[in-house]
Amino acid sequence: MTDDTKGGKPGKGPFDSDSATARGVARGLTNYGDIGFSLFLRKAFIKGAGLSDDALARPIIGIVNTGSSYNPCHGNAPQLIEAVKRGVMLAGGLPMDFPTISVHESFSQPTSMYLRNLMSMDTEEMIRAQPMDAVVLIGGCDKTVPAQLMGAASAGVPAIQLVTGSMLTGSHRGERVGACTDCRRYWGRYRAEEIDAVEIADVNNQLVASVGTCSVMGTASTMACITEALGMMVSGGASAPAVTADRVRVAEHTGATAVAMAASRLTPDRILNGKSIENALRVLLAIGGSTNGIVHLTAIAGRLGIDIDLAGLDRISRETPVLVDLKPSGQHYMEDFHDAGGMPALLRELRPFLHLDVLTVSGRTLGEELDDAPPPFKQDVIRTAAAPIYPVGGLAVLRGNLAPGGAIIKQSAANPKLMEHEGRAVVFEDAEDMARRIDDDALDVTADDILVLKRIGPTGAPGMPEAGYMPIPKKLARAGVKDMVRISDGRMSGTAAGTIVLHVTPESAIGGPLAYVQNGDRIRLSVARREIALLVDDAELARRTAANPITRPTADRGYRKLFLQSVTQADQGVDFDFLRAGVTNDTVPKK
Ligand code: FES
């Protein structure tokens, strides 16, 4: 061990410390106005837990524990922490786990996105507040990994991501099922009265067959893959299922890697830059990733002062094929992706599109990691660029008078017959209005209409809920309608599929054009022309705007007040304006 990894700078006494060079337990001392006393007191307290001076002289590796009874996606956190600790100690470090907020999609009211920024602040501040030379971030469920990467990027301490891994698939009456594409498919069948109450209860027992994150290419899997592409995870760390020996070995390797990162001061700003963000965008497109991925990646990049240009994203989407055959764009599950070689196999296929000189958590470049990746073998989950599952990227960016700041559609999971479509708007003023009327047999709606849902943007709900996946009105579902064009300023789960326009910016709750759409207006969607147009003339829109002035939502107190005052729009990552790095120092993708 080198001197600079020992607790405190060598000095005259055991409690002398220099705050500028302090390492280990001497980092970031509590301020009593007497540095020596602060270190003396800190050591006295931690020795109450039985730690020796030898242990306290080691580099400290913090481990963020997001285990929670409310979060089955993180149900293997105890085993992972044990394995990370083993890796840290084998490499000569002292592991210290600590809790932060844990956010699960189904246990977050009003919505998990509302809490993502709070979790990122918790992560950032606890990394900064407690002494650690590096930190292992254990996350997995949709909002947790972006929250941790955002917080770690701002905290500036060497950080490495470990995901909990995907859940196993289940079996329902001979059919393989997994959360949550199949959850939506079965619920749709139940709404259409194709299956009965007994069967929907049966499948409810099978959709989530173990702890771990959703088993398709939803947001959790998307974030795991793009984190590996960013270089913030050990090679091959994205795909091992939660309950496998591979996942535990990844955890041990992560712990050992964190010790090496502490020694070399491999901070996030040395790994995360315009090139690595662009690599992550390529991967997001090539995996048919969740639309949420672009929002989260924008927020992570913003913490480093990097802007993501939506027009540039659309340009690289036109030249990046979807190669991964996973639901909802394809047919397989995350465990199949792992068996097919996982991210190293995909990155090797994408090699011509990637910046290979970027650094990863291993201290080696992405190109060096790929040179050492296991050799390819015959499989049918990760396609070659010559035989893609979809010829261009999974996402397309739309613009027009309905979305001057842009909107997103997941074209790889949309119905090709609806991607060029003009129809009559059937408008719901907010989520409650939709819940009240969508299944009313008296609702004036046909399969050719376009469903419009307002006030589910960043401030509208608030927290931009995943309500953009609007249900097909029951009377149409019963008649066999499976998809319709749907438009909102909200998000949808990465596990969902359909011809669904999301993230309309600016949102309706702050007076974006979506606020002024009325029943019966004509709307035109053209994915080929990247257009989303409200076919109402400018004078009429101006009249509606003047007649219905809109004020930004507010709250009287607490986190909700902070959220509503500070949250940015989708094109800025829905981060808080004061958490973004002050100055823009790069814009990606490059022209
Ligand atoms: Fe946690 Fe899907 S609900 S990953």
Range of the domain at 467: 402-572
300 belongs to a structural domain: yes
Q: What is the mean pLDDT of residues 98-107?
A: 97
Q: What is the mean pLDDT of residues 189-218?
A: 96
Q: How many CA atoms lie within 13 A of 375 on its CB side?
A: 2
Cβ–Cβ under 8 Å, residues 350 and 229: no
- If asked whether residues 146 and 187 sit together in one domain, one would say no
From 163, 164, 207, 214, give the residue whose CB has the most ligand 1 atoms within 8 Å, as the site to mutate.
214
Q: Which residues pair with 306 in a beta bridge?
A: 586
Q: How far apart are CA 292 and CA 466, in angstroms?
A: 9
* 553-577 pLDDT per residue, tens: 999 999 999 999 999 999 999 999 9
- If asked whether residues 417 and 326 sit together in one domain, one would say no
Instruction: Identify the residue whose C-alpha is closest to ligand 1 atom 1.
Output: 141
Nearest atom in ligand 1 to the alpha carbon of residue 106 is 3
In the prediction, which pLDDT does 12 show?
63
Q: Decide: helix, strand or coil at residue 62.
A: strand
561 belongs to a structural domain: yes
Cis omega (within 30 of 0) for bond into 225: no
Backbone φ, ψ for residue 277 (5° rounding): -65, -40
* 350-372 pLDDT per residue, tens: 999 999 999 999 999 999 999 99
H helices present in 235-387, as ranges: 245-264, 268-271, 274-286, 292-302, 310-317, 334-339, 342-350, 366-371
- If asked whether residues 129 and 221 sit together in one domain, one would say yes
Nearest atom in ligand 1 to the alpha carbon of residue 71 is 1
Token pair recorded at residue 496: 């969902």
142 belongs to a structural domain: yes
If you average pLDDT over every residue of the chain, what do you get?
Answer: 95
- If asked whether residues 193 and 230 sit together in one domain, one would say no
Q: How far is the CA of 211 from the centre of ligand 1 (A)?
A: 10
Pocket lined around ligand 1, Cβ cut-off 6 Å? 73, 104-105, 141-142, 179, 213-214, 218, 220
Q: What is the mean pLDDT of residues 331-354?
A: 97
- If asked whether residues 333 and 456 sit together in one domain, one would say no
Q: How far is the CA of 104 from the centre of ligand 1 (A)?
A: 7
383 belongs to a structural domain: no
Under the banding of pLDDT at 50, 70 and 90, the label for residue 495 is confident
Above 70 in pLDDT, residue 6? no
Residues 6+ apart with CB under 8 A from 243: 76, 165, 168, 210, 211, 212
Q: Is the dihedral of CA 9, 13, 14, 19 positive or negative?
A: negative
- If asked whether residues 321 and 355 sit together in one domain, one would say yes
- The pTM score is 0.96
- If asked whether residues 123 and 258 sit together in one domain, one would say yes
* Residue keyed to tokens 């972006």: 146
- If asked whether residues 63 and 155 sit together in one domain, one would say yes
- If asked whether residues 162 and 174 sit together in one domain, one would say no
* 500-545 pLDDT per residue, tens: 999 999 999 999 999 999 999 999 999 999 999 999 999 999 999 9
Above 60 in pLDDT, residue 2? no
Task: Annotate 480-548 with three-state secondary structure.
Answer: CCCCCEEEECCCCCCCCCCCEEEEEECCHHHCCHHHHCCCCCEEEEECCCCEEEECCCHHHHHHHHHHC
14 belongs to a structural domain: no
- If asked whether residues 133 and 258 sit together in one domain, one would say yes
In the prediction, which pLDDT does 585 show?
87
In the prediction, which pLDDT does 94 show?
98
Count the domains in the chain.
3
Helix (H) or strand (E) holding 150: helix 144-155
* 12-36 pLDDT per residue, tens: 678 887 777 889 999 999 998 899 9
Above 80 in pLDDT, residue 304? yes
In the prediction, which pLDDT does 4 show?
42
Above 90 in pLDDT, residue 87? yes
Nearest atom in ligand 1 to the alpha carbon of residue 142 is 4
- CATH number for 564: 3.50.30.80
- CATH number for 359: 3.40.50.2300
Residues 6+ apart with CB under 8 A from 217: 287, 288, 289, 290, 324, 326, 327, 328, 329, 330, 334, 337, 494, 495
Token pair recorded at residue 387: 């035989």
- If asked whether residues 219 and 197 sit together in one domain, one would say no
In the prediction, which pLDDT does 8 show?
46
Token pair recorded at residue 515: 């606020």
In the prediction, which pLDDT does 7 show?
45
- Tell me, rounded to whole angstroms, the distance of Cα 183 from its chain centroid: 20
- If asked whether residues 96 and 163 sit together in one domain, one would say yes
- How many beta carbons lie within 10 A of that of residue 243, not counting itself? 19
* 250-274 pLDDT per residue, tens: 999 999 999 999 999 999 999 999 9
